[in-house]
Amino acid sequence: MALEALEALRQTFPEIAKDIKLNLQNVLEGESSLTSEQRWGVAIASAIASRNAQLRDATIADARKAGIAQAVLDDAAASAVVMGMNNIYYRFRHMVGKESYSQKRAGLRMMRIGQPATSKSDLELFSLAVSAIHGCEVCVQSHEKTVTDHGLTEDQVNDAIRIAAVFQAAAFALQTGL
């Protein structure tokens, strides 16, 4: 897996982010229980969710160079966008702690989640990573259950969340200005 764009970006990380620099390479090129498509899908969704244009663009560029199908890129982007909405809504319902809100109809269109371009388990895995970045406990629990119910292992979930954590930290590293 050639990390040309991400490697160039990693070289700009400040010294305080040396661990993140090493971890970024490791989660994408090291040993993993994820397929290449899952790894890149989680990375793209996480880069988008981390809200750093440099990281997003470098990740997408390297995924394309690695031959990742457009369907994976589409599902990763769709999960980041839809979770951007869902994570806010469901996190609010959980944080406010009133049963009355859980009885209310969400009324939010999220058909894309039910119509993956890749597979239900992969789209849910990408959504799990984004939900972890956004800190939506209810969403994390729901997506983790769905992916394991669809046959993914706890090792795969763990590897996906490792990617999400490193990408979030990489976005912070790029924003330090040091």
Which one from 139, 140, 163, 164 is the annotated catalytic residue? 139
53 classed as catalytic = no
Question: Which residues touch 45 (CB under 8 Å, ≥6 apart)?
Answer: 76, 77, 79, 80, 83, 126, 127, 129, 130
d(CA 119, CA 16) in angstroms, rounded, equals 38
Scored b (16 or more CB within 10 A) or e, 31-55 reads: ebebeebbbbbbbbbbbbbbebebb
Catalytic residue among 43, 136, 147, 161: 136
Tell me which residue of 138, 133, 131, 86 sits closest to 109, measured CA to CA: 86
DSSP 63-75: HHHTT--HHHHHH
Tell me whether residue 136 is one of the annotated catalytic residues: yes
The residues that are catalytic are 136, 139
